[in-house]
Amino acid sequence: MKRMSTGSRINSAQDDAAGYAVSQYIGVQLSSYGMAKDNTEMGVSYVNTAGSTLDIVSSHIQRIRNLAEEACNGTYTDDSRKAMQAEVDQRITEVNRLLSTTEFNGKKLFQNASSTSSTSVSKFTDSVSSMSDADAVAAGYIVINNASDLQNITDMSGKYILSDNIDLSTISNFTGIGTSGNPFTGELNGNGYVISNLSVSSSSGASGLFGYIDSGTVKNLGLEDVDINSTSDYAGSIAGYSTNATIDNCYAKGDVSANSDVGGLVGYASTNSHISDSYFSGGVKGSDSNTGGIAGVLDSGSTISNSHSGGVVSGETSAGGIVGSNQSSTIMNSYSTAYLHGSSSLGGIAGVNSGTINNVLYNSDNDLSIGSDSGTSSSIVALTNTQMRDSATMSGYGFIVSDSIDTGPVMTNFQVGISSQNSSVISIDTSLEFSLDVDLSHSDTARDALGEIDDALSKITAKQSELGVIYNRLQTNSENIDTYTDNLTASVSVLKDTDVAEASSDYIKQKILQQSASVLLTTANQSPSIALSLINIKV
């Protein structure tokens, strides 16, 4: 009767112990998938909000481009150009407002977005006073003027300096300066300039701007739009492998991937190599071991100081926000906002540590500061990325954070699965940075602005494409959750639901038996009286 009234075959563990346990487990899964479905739908709304905002921003910048192209024509008076400039200034102001104020559920979507001019601020940790060519030559430097000069460095002990920014897009596969047999032992002074579009594709040896450095120095150098892809070991934006090297006041942005010993700046920093006042922002990926936001391996008395990393670090094992493996070396006065992905020995600071770590901050979204620690560590603090971007908070820990220094993307994680594994998370980076310094006062300056505007449009389009990919993934995940839920619900039904026909038949059977027994009992109770009446005994 209870099964028929409740509709459930299993109402308690006593009914079917194994079936009850299985149905309870599936019930938990169903509840979790329901929350995952809600999270996914929230993610879809989040992405739609970001995408709609970028559509508006893109329309503003397209109008700015039209005005700039119009101003390239020499037929306009100064008053006409002033009117065009006024509209451009207002639209840039509106772009800044949109990027800085767009929110979803109280959370800013574009937390470190910027559309202001990048020419008036330095992205270096320490300010750089650029030397003139004459002063550089007087100081004993060899001046590097272009991509060809850089690629054709042959004297590994020379003293070199950049005279301007260098675009390496004309070199599809840059050959790293210095080999294991003939390492770079000289000096490269970036002079506050930037090398952009460094692209390296390699299957052997160390990969980077420099392949191997031994007792050499790299300073005051910026690298942007780095793309290094190696199937071998030892890869870093600045150097694949360094020994007794000094890297000071440098930064790099982009992506670095290799097999093992992969770092944002240096793949393997060995024997008294020193990295200071430097940072990396972007993606670092190792398919095997020792992957770090700044260095894959820090070894034998090497140091990292006053440096930081941001972005995503992915490694199979021994992956860290700053270093993959810290071996008898020192990390101090540094921090990392990087997010980690991997299988084992993962740490917001270091994957493995057998050295010294002191006064270091790390992203609290990572479970551990150090994956495996057999060294000495002190003054380690976990903070959120938002806290590490706040100058007041960071100054309390002795760090100075400048708006011009890139601390990496602010990732938003959507928990779209029911487990604690990375496969249950879809991450999105809505950070956006581009420069808009548009001067329409003359046809020449207006023409110069077109390239900058096109670059901004290109970055917005790329970000919209990223949002589109995330949107599709969320939609697919939502459909998969519906499939999982339907199948699990059917499984629970098979386990728990009462077969009404069977239960009814059983109930009727039991009812008939009960009535038959009652009739037989009644008849049996009447038998003595019948017998007495038959023999007509009088009392």
AA letter at 303: T
Last residue in a domain, options 383, 402, 421: 402
Please give the average per-residue pLDDT across 513-522, as a whole number: 75
Q: Looking at 352, 384, 402, which one is the last position of a domain?
A: 402
Stretch 453-476: mean pLDDT? 92
Q: Is residue 259 part of a domain?
A: yes
pLDDT at 314: 94
Per-residue confidence (pLDDT) for residue 367, from 0 to 100: 86
Q: How far apart are CA 385 and CA 103, in angstroms?
A: 17
Query: What are the pLDDT digits (tens) for 136-193?
Result: 999 999 999 999 999 999 999 999 999 999 999 999 999 999 999 999 999 999 999 9
User: Domain of 481?
Assistant: 17-116+439-491
54 with 197, same domain? no
- Is the same domain home to 101 and 145? no
pLDDT at 119: 37
Overall average pLDDT of the 443-466 stretch = 89
**What DSSP element (H or E) covers 327?**
strand 323-327
**How does residue 123 score in pLDDT terms, banded at 50, 70 and 90?**
confident
Residue 6 lies inside a defined structural domain of this protein: no
* Strand blocks (E) in 205-273: 210-214, 217-219, 222-230, 239-243, 246-248, 251-258, 262-263, 266-270
* pTM tops 0.75, yes or no: no
Please state the rounded mean pLDDT for residues 34-42: 94
Q: What local confidence, expressed as pLDDT, does residue 121 receive? A: 47
Mapping DSSP to helix (H, G, I), strand (E, B) and coil, where does residue 522 land? helix
Which residues fall within 8 angstroms of residue 44, CB to CB, at 6 or more apart? 471, 474, 475, 478
φ, ψ at 98 (rounded to 5°): -60, -45
Residue 528 makes CB contacts below 8 A (sequence gap 6+) with none
Q: What is the pLDDT of residues 265-322, one digit of tens each?
A: 999 999 999 999 999 998 999 999 999 999 999 999 999 999 999 989 999 999 999 9
CB atoms within 10 A of CB 496: 21
CA distances from 148 to 168, 172, 186, 222 (A): 9, 13, 19, 18
Residue 92 has φ and ψ, to the nearest 5°, of -65, -40
Same domain, 373 and 396: yes
Q: Is the pLDDT of residue 247 over 90?
A: yes
Tokens, residue 323: 């270093």
Q: Which residues of 154-183 are buried (b: 16+ CB within 10 A; e: fewer)?
A: eebeeebbbbeebbbeebeebebbbeeeeb
Q: Say how many C-beta atoms besides its own lie within 10 A of residue 135's C-beta.
A: 11
Q: Which residues does 510 contact at the CB level (< 8 Å), separation at least 6?
A: none
Answer yes or no: is 496 within a domain. no
Q: Are 223 and 200 in contact (CB under 8 A)?
A: no
Residue 38 lies in a domain: yes
Q: How many residues does the chain have?
A: 539
Which two structure tokens, joined as six digits, stand for 391? 């100058």
Look at the block and give the residue holding tokens 């699965």.
417
Is the same domain home to 147 and 211? yes
Are residues 182 and 85 located together in one domain of the fold?
A: no
Q: Which pLDDT score, from 0 to 100, does residue 111 have?
A: 60
Q: Same domain for 338 and 458?
A: no
Judge if 309 and 366 occupy the same domain: yes
Domain boundary among 402, 418, 452: 402
Q: Does residue 97 carry a pLDDT above 90? A: no
- CATH code where residue 280 lies: 2.160.20.110
Q: Measure Cα distances from 454 to 69, 147, 519 in Å.
A: 11, 23, 97
Give, as one character, the DSSP assignment of residue 72.
T
Q: What's the mean pLDDT when you consider all of the chain?
A: 88
Confidence (pLDDT) at 256: 97
Contact 272, 301 (CB under 8 A): yes
Tokens at 474, concatenated: 């969320």
Is the CA virtual torsion 59, 65, 67, 70 positive or negative?
negative
Tell me the CA distances in angstroms from 530 to 85, 358, 517, 523, 533, one per residue in order. 121, 104, 20, 10, 5
Query: In this structure, is residue 7 part of a structural domain?
Result: no
Contact 295, 275 (CB under 8 A): yes
376: in domain: yes
DSSP H helices, 339-442, are 385-388, 391-395
Statement to judge: residues 391 and 458 lie in one domain: no
pLDDT of residue 518 exceeding 70, the answer is yes
Number of structural domains found in the chain? 3
* Best mean pLDDT range from 107-111, 118-122, 140-144, 382-386: 140-144
Given pLDDT bands bounded at 50, 70 and 90, which one contains residue 117? very low
State the pLDDT at residue 71: 92
Same domain? 174 vs 292: yes
Strands (E), 384-528: 411-415, 425-429
94 and 142 part of one domain:
no
Report the distance separating Cα 330 and Cα 378, nearest Å: 12
506 shares its domain with 483:
no
SS3 (DSSP) at 493:
helix
CATH number for 79 = 1.20.1330.10
| Highest mean pLDDT out of 113-122, 165-174, 336-345, 501-510 | 165-174
259 shares a domain with 192: yes
For residue 244, being part of any structural domain is answered with: yes
533 SS3 class:
helix
Residue 392 has a pLDDT of 85
Residue whose C-alpha is closest to residue 343's, from 355, 351, 331:
351
In a domain, 473, yes or no: yes
Of 200 and 103, the one with more pLDDT: 200
- Cβ burial, residue 218 (10 Å; 0-12/13-18/19+): buried
Residues 504-519, mean pLDDT to the nearest whole number:
73
pLDDT interval class at 2 (50, 70, 90):
low
| Greater pLDDT, 11 or 479 | 479
Spatial separation of the C-alpha atoms in residues 132 and 121, rounded to whole Å: 19
3-state secondary structure of 382: strand
Q: Is 145 helix (H, G, I), strand (E, B) or coil?
A: coil
* Tens digit of each residue's pLDDT (9 = 90 or more) over 380-433: 999 987 788 778 888 888 887 755 555 566 678 899 999 877 788 898 887 787
